[in-house]
């Protein structure tokens, strides 16, 4: 592809926005035409990202949807839920492609949106149209998507950990217990003592128990894979590292399958995937190996003693769990090498 | 009590031994008569603990069971499993009281010991006699114990998190999924790159999947509480903090119980306990608040949506999970105020 | 002493206030009669400190100086500078003893106060009267002090590192270069992204260069020790740990002194001090050994190659650098064992 | 350049070797022909680096200099000092280009080598011939070098922080006090409790006082810049982060220069440098912004009060302080874009 795709990043001042910009700056097929932020308006990208942006002339602007619309063809929205749709609607109307990293278009059911986000959804039709930005599962749908709803970090790690098992119908759909450990950057860049160094270092805690907002999104996708209603228990935890997510899932086996069978199932399912690595039985996923990449490590272990199966996945919550995955979806959308800009 | 109890700490150079010494140094009812270590023999306690021991004349010695036997009345064993019994047997024979922090006398079933520790148990009779050093559950038995088998950190946090529920028969005994997060000090003081700063900081991983050695000990105690066979799935994780353990357990409810009922059950069960704090519904356990103490925070949450119950507990893996709990058991054994030396 | 001293802690909700309360709760000679905080008014001490305060009935109150005055005899002020004097003045007028942890009464020169704190000092007479709360240097003055101005963490570590050398006139007074590394808790409990986990973890930076507010306080005390004007370069750094401070000072030797001489000078100077440990030549100070204590480790090294001397000191910035040192000064003031409540 | 340069990495299993491989894997102008390691022989690169190497067929081999010599044209040596020259000598004799990351060829004076490394230098002639691999100062010499002696992390950060000042003769050559803070990865991948998570987290300490092995290398380069003998005091510290180095240097001004003058001097000196960023007076260097890059941030501050000047530099100790700088030197050597492979 000789031509550069013109992109803009809207709401670029949070951790996800920063990571997105770091990746897009080096992406061989994009030209960043605008970066917007209310808070950072007037500041150079270099003042935020540091020397990695020293050759970039980009400056944050405070632009409305109308003002920014003409500047690019593809818009990455790194905005809070609720705000994202305020940009997505006019941009789509103007014929643009939208890659949304918020929760606004992930749920198919407007009722669930209302229940978990306490607001009426502003554009229920788009819930139907949007494509879930998980390339490993929605590659063909992504190729023509106008609106890509990128999954968050918890859904990505849970879904990719379970997909092969559920697709084969090998798990009891009401037996799935998910525990997730998240680096603190998952909470965003907030001036809140809750996320201060002194409160989070040397500390562990669960939160949003038992009804984290990502549960319906996870269950929607797991149910789609299983072809039946899946109900999970999901417990997120804050652990003292900046980036990284480890998800441990335990479920009851339906039917029979030994470790060798599980291993083969997972390796076959993800064969050819550039960013999913199925580990052998000698290793378990570690976040260290995937930090600052779009990779996710997955492992499966059969526990003959209990008749349960354990699933593990490790990713960077800002990488495969957010920014780089959005770029991967963008690559798929525009027929680029899926790895373009993502192997640095 | 006007008289000081003469104690010795055997194998005092690891993290548990250090913590034990830190506590015993300030304990108003003990006199430390000997501290032993092969590695540290000849070094002063101050050179290891630093200034907190600057007023102590103690020096590490390399002493055999016979050599140390006459020096004290109570022996804390902070030794690896297998080695502990080499000290416990002659010391018991000499009429001493033994508080063992290793795994040697925790299991009642010598077959399980053999299966998980790959050796014949050297003194099966003592497995029967030993008292499990969890004061909240074995207070009366501890009062006359000759041999106290202190629980490790994973069992303590799991058992205290589930005890009220299991005792009431409120959980399906084969539905219990335990996830535990441990600070790195749980691995001991080892010259192994696996536990180096660069490998563990900014990193998360599960390990010993699916058959961690503490599983039979946990199941033994949970089964005892439930009055029926309990089988758990247990997954331990290493997370980047020095001290602290958070355990999250999910189980299926048997019968009916709402959040208020759970809250009352737990508060009643632990009423009067100096070291167990049942949190209200506005807080979840955090390790930060219990580090360097003998306290454990416990919380229970009913999830009406899934019919499951979630249990959380936070403790210091070297505190309530090891050294201070051993001192608490010692206090109970000798009729001292259970909090003696443990409120510092 | 059979009678308990009645104390109050004003502004008790920051990290220093918390640490002070943790220590005073176990202090055998104090009775905490009031704890005040605007923010935390109505909350129990247990809700802030966790289980270590579970046996305490204390509740934070929002009290004016007049309201709190009758409640206690000794008042610890853990307030921001400027606010502290608003409490100190009326409390002193009411005949109370004030132990101030702020910067309000540390400088003897009201001009310097104005220059560094940008305000006229409200009570210059008290600047003259206040006693600097560093027991190792002002023990006799503290015994009758009405107003104790406790030094901050940077001054404590710098001054105690240099005192023996300066008192002997062994350093060129304009050659002293101080570099200090501080744990993040030194910045207080602030809702500011600057102190968030994600900004401070895996990060190092110097700050307040070249004119940190503690410089005049440090120079005042060093000049007093030297009997001549001392001018220092002082550079503070934020490093990713919660608690701890390491200060490295380099200065040019005046006269002659070899390593053995330095060692003897320091050991003699601090002989008998309960909380200052002079390390031998085989060790350098480490914060790990003094965290959560009132201890400070000090070491001195002669560098024959350059003719300079290096001084190192390690302490807990919230301990010897703040809260526990205030308690030590209180102990001295009231004729208690200087170690009372501080060996836990 | 259409042709790929054939490179090999010798001793590739440490942190520097790993980082080098991570960068070379994505370098558009290199083909990695061999990676050697005694310890890791037989293991795939993927098993060490994780998924970032999943498309690479590379396997570690245990190869002698003779065995590896024919495999490539350029050899990166990531070996301990002493061992590096055992490879460098035969490889140079075979006409290869050697980029050595060890200390073996950095010192020009074989006497100093002997004094600090306790061994006779095996090839003093090469000390004379080798080019110091700091592209900002030795760019033209590097273009024809057969043997590049890459500076370590402490020298790089100290030298680049001081170069403009010393070159102008603006500092008193015996007044330079350097304090450096290093991430733990600087100690290498060693099975030593000294570098364990539990000993280094929440801990600060200075080490190798007052005679760190890098002092002669730093003084050699600073003296060269100044055109006169420079003697420094240098104190390295271990601080709890994996990667990153912050160096703070204080020196006495010779002559006159105000902040604006310093600022201009530094900006002019480093104008056009891709990897050195001179910060303005509103910011100080932070390691966070340069981690996993080849960038170094530099700042200078005049302290009118003391007549001293402060210099700050922040880099990644494994990046600009080691692996990526070696690649930068390689790029210069072979006439590539200096940024090739280094902007990822």
A58, A153, A218, A279: the active-site residue: A153
Chains in touch with A (3+ beta-carbon pairs under 8 Å) read B, C, D
pLDDT tens-digit series, residues C214-239: 999 999 999 999 999 999 999 999 99
Judged by a CB distance cut-off of 8 A, whether residue D140 touches chain C is no
Segment holding B178, helix H or strand E = strand B176-182
Q: For residues C297 and C287, what is the distance between their CA atoms, to the nearest angstrom?
A: 8
Contact B334/B296 with Cβ under 8 angstroms? no
- Give the per-residue pLDDT at A1: 46
**Nearest-by-Cβ selection for D51 from A47, A202, A277:** A277
- Give the per-residue pLDDT at A2: 54
- Give me the residue label for tokens 């006359």: B144
A vs D: CB pairs below 8 A: 53
Segment D204-228 shows an average pLDDT of: 96
Task: Decide if A286 and B235 are in contact by the 8 Å CB cutoff.
Answer: no
pLDDT tens-digit series, residues C245-285: 999 999 999 999 999 999 999 999 999 999 999 999 999 99
Contact C28/B26 with Cβ under 8 angstroms? no
Q: For residues B37 and D318, what is the distance between their CA atoms, to the nearest angstrom?
A: 38
- Give the per-residue pLDDT at A92: 97
Q: What percent of chain C has pLDDT over 70?
A: 99
Chains in touch with B (3+ beta-carbon pairs under 8 Å) read A, C, D
**Nearest-by-Cβ selection for A291 from B202, B286, B287:** B202
Q: For residues A24 and A323, what is the distance between their CA atoms, to the nearest angstrom?
A: 10
Q: Which residues of A touch C240 (CB under 8 A)?
A: 197, 201
pLDDT tens-digit series, residues A324-337: 999 999 999 999 99
Read off the pLDDT band of D2 (50, 70, 90): low
C vs D: CB pairs below 8 A: 144
Q: Which of D198, D199, D201, D316 to mutate to test the interface with B (most CBs of B within 10 A)?
A: D198
- DSSP collapsed to 3 states, B150-169: CCCHHHHHHHHHHHHHHHCC
Closest to B99 in 3D by CA, of B340, B342, B294, B327: B327
Closest to C157 in 3D by CA, of C302, C19, C332, C294: C294
Q: What percent of chain D has pLDDT over 90?
A: 96
Q: For residues C120 and C124, what is the distance between their CA atoms, to the nearest angstrom?
A: 9
Closest to B129 in 3D by CA, of B111, B142, B112: B142
Q: How far does B73 lie from chain D, in Å, by closest CA?
A: 32
| Burial class (CB within 10 angstroms; exposed 0-12, middle 13-18, buried 19+) of A241 | buried
**DSSP conformation letters of A250-308:** EEEBSS---HHHHHHHHHHHTTT-SSEEE--TT----GGGTTTSS-EEEEEEEETTTTE
- Give the per-residue pLDDT at D12: 86
Closest to C136 in 3D by CA, of C276, C305, C304: C276
Q: For residues B299 and B277, what is the distance between their CA atoms, to the nearest angstrom?
A: 8
Q: How far does D184 lie from chain C, in Å, by closest CA?
A: 11
Segment C24-49 shows an average pLDDT of: 96
- Give the per-residue pLDDT at C3: 85
Q: CB neighbours of A318 closer than 8 A, spacing ≥ 6?
A: A15, A16, A19, A153, A185, A186, A243, A324
Q: Least CA distance to D216: which residue of chain C?
A: C305
Q: For residues C217 and C316, what is the distance between their CA atoms, to the nearest angstrom?
A: 19
- Give the per-residue pLDDT at C93: 97
C10, C32, C153, C253: the active-site residue: C153
Q: Which residues of A touch B287 (CB under 8 A)?
A: 202-205
Q: Where are the domains of chain B?
A: 5-150+322-333, 154-315
CA torsion angle C315 C318 C323 C324 (round to 10): -30
Q: What percent of chain D has pLDDT over 70?
A: 99
List alpha helices for B32-152, DSSP H. 45-49, 65-69, 83-93, 110-117, 124-129, 135-142
Judged by a CB distance cut-off of 8 A, whether residue C52 touches chain B is yes
Q: How far does A49 lie from chain D, in Å, by closest CA?
A: 7
Complete edge-to-edge strand list for the sheet that includes strand B5-10: B60-61, B30-36, B5-10, B74-77, B97-100, B147-149, B131-132
Q: Is the pLDDT of residue D1 over 50?
A: no
Q: Mean pLDDT over all residues of chain B?
A: 96
- Give me the residue label for tokens 């984290």: A212
CATH 3.30.360.10 for domain C154-315? yes
Distance of CA A56 to the CA centre of its chain: 26
CATH 3.40.50.720 for domain C5-150+322-333? yes
Task: Decide if D295 and A26 are in contact by the 8 Å CB cutoff.
Answer: no
Q: Is the pLDDT of residue C344 over 90?
A: no
Can you give the pLDDT of all 344 residues of chain A as single tens digits? 458 999 999 998 899 999 999 999 999 999 999 999 999 999 999 999 999 999 999 999 999 999 999 999 999 999 999 999 999 999 999 999 999 999 999 999 999 999 988 889 989 999 999 999 999 999 999 999 999 999 999 999 999 999 999 999 999 999 999 999 999 999 999 999 999 999 999 999 999 999 899 999 999 999 999 999 999 999 999 999 999 999 999 999 999 999 999 999 999 999 999 999 999 999 999 999 999 999 999 999 999 999 999 999 999 999 999 999 999 999 999 999 999 999 86
Task: Decide if C244 and D203 are in contact by the 8 Å CB cutoff.
Answer: yes
pLDDT tens-digit series, residues D301-324: 999 999 999 999 999 999 999 999
Closest to D297 in 3D by CA, of D327, D328, D329, D319: D319
Q: How far does A100 lie from chain B, in Å, by closest CA?
A: 28
B127, B153, B170, B299: the active-site residue: B153
CA angle B325, B326, B331 (to 5 degrees): 95
Q: CB neighbours of D239 closer than 8 A, spacing ≥ 6?
A: C181, C204, C239, C240, C241, D181, D182, D183, D204
Q: For residues D324 and B43, what is the distance between their CA atoms, to the nearest angstrom?
A: 44
Q: CB neighbours of D75 closer than 8 A, spacing ≥ 6?
A: D7, D8, D9, D10, D68, D87, D91, D96, D97, D98, D99
Judged by a CB distance cut-off of 8 A, whether residue B190 touches chain D is yes
Read off the pLDDT band of D3 (50, 70, 90): confident
Closest to D203 in 3D by CA, of B192, B44, C285: C285
Residue C182, classed as helix, strand or coil, is: strand
Read off the pLDDT band of B2 (50, 70, 90): low
pTM of the model: 0.97
Phi, psi dihedrals of residue A300, rounded to the nearest 5°: -130, 140
Task: Decide if D189 and B196 are in contact by the 8 Å CB cutoff.
Answer: yes
Q: Least CA distance to C300: which residue of chain D?
A: D209
Q: How far does B253 lie from chain D, in Å, by closest CA?
A: 39
| Burial class (CB within 10 angstroms; exposed 0-12, middle 13-18, buried 19+) of D230 | buried
CA atoms within 13 A on the CB side of A181: 32
Segment C4-18 shows an average pLDDT of: 95
| Burial class (CB within 10 angstroms; exposed 0-12, middle 13-18, buried 19+) of D21 | buried
Segment C92-101 shows an average pLDDT of: 98
Read off the pLDDT band of C343 (50, 70, 90): confident
pLDDT tens-digit series, residues D7-20: 999 998 899 999 99
Q: CB neighbours of A332 closer than 8 A, spacing ≥ 6?
A: A135, A139, A142, A143, A338
More confident residue, C24 or B13: C24
Judged by a CB distance cut-off of 8 A, whether residue A192 touches chain C is yes
**Nearest-by-Cβ selection for A290 from D26, D47, D50:** D50
Q: For residues B49 and D333, what is the distance between their CA atoms, to the nearest angstrom?
A: 52
Q: Least CA distance to C296: which residue of chain B?
A: B51
**DSSP conformation letters of D185-221:** GGG-S---GGGBHHHHTT--EE-S-S--TTHHHHHHH
Q: For residues B304 and B139, what is the distance between their CA atoms, to the nearest angstrom?
A: 35
Q: Is the pLDDT of residue D333 over 70?
A: yes
Q: Least CA distance to B283: which residue of chain C?
A: C47
Q: Is the pLDDT of residue B116 over 70?
A: yes
Q: Least CA distance to B201: which residue of chain A?
A: A241
Contact A222/B180 with Cβ under 8 angstroms? no
Contact C225/C163 with Cβ under 8 angstroms? yes
- CB proximity under 8 Å: B 195-234 to A: 199, 201-207, 209-211, 231-233
**b/e sequence D325-334, b meaning 16+ C-beta within 10 Å:** bbbbbbbbbb
Torsion-angle region of residue D139: left (phi > 0), alpha (psi -120 to 50) or beta?
alpha
Segment holding C45, helix H or strand E = helix C45-49
Residue A97 token pair: 């492609």
Q: Which residues of C touch A193 (CB under 8 A)?
A: 189-191
ipTM of the complex model: 0.96
Task: Decide if A189 and C193 are in contact by the 8 Å CB cutoff.
Answer: yes
């Amino acid at each position: 592809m000789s031509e550069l795709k013109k992109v803009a990043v809207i709401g670029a001042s949070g951790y996800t926005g920063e990571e997105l910009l770091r990746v897009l700056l080096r992406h061989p097929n994009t030209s960043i035409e605008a970066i917007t932020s209310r808070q950072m308006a007037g500041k150079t990208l270099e003042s935020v990202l540091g020397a990695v942006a020293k050759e970039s002339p980009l400056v944050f602007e405070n632009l409305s949807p109308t003002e920014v619309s003409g500047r690019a063809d593809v818009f990455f929205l790194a905005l809070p839920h609720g705000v994202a749709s305020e940009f997505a609607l006019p941009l789509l109307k103007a014929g643009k492609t939208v890659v949304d990293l918020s929760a606004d278009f992930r749920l198919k059911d407007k009722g669930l949106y209302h229940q978990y986000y306490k607001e009426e959804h502003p554009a229920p039709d788009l819930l139907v149209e949007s494509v879930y930005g998980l390339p490993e599962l929605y590659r063909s749908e992504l190729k023509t998507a106008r609106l890509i709803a990128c999954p968050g970090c918890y859904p990505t790690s849970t879904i990719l950990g379970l997909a092969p098992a559920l697709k084969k119908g090998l798990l009891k759909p009401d037996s799935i217990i998910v525990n997730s450990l998240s680096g603190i950057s998952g909470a965003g860049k907030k001036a809140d003592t809750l996320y201060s160094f002194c409160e989070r270092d040397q500390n562990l805690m669960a939160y949003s128990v038992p009804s984290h907002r990502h549960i319906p999104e996870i269950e929607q996708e797991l149910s789609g894979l299983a072809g039946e209603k899946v109900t999970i228990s999901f417990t997120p935890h804050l652990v003292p590292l900046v980036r990284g997510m480890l998800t441990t899932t335990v479920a009851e086996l339906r039917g029979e399958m030994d470790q060798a069978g599980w291993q083969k199932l997972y390796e076959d399912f993800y064969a050819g995937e550039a960013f999913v690595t199925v580990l052998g039985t000698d290793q378990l996923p570690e976040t260290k190996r995937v930090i600052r990449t779009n990779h996710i490590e997955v492992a499966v272990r059969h526990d003959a003693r209990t008749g349960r199966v354990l699933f593990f996945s490790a990713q960077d919550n800002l990488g495969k769990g957010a920014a780089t995955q959005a770029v991967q979806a963008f690559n798929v959308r525009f027929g680029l090498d899926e790895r373009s800009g993502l192997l640095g």
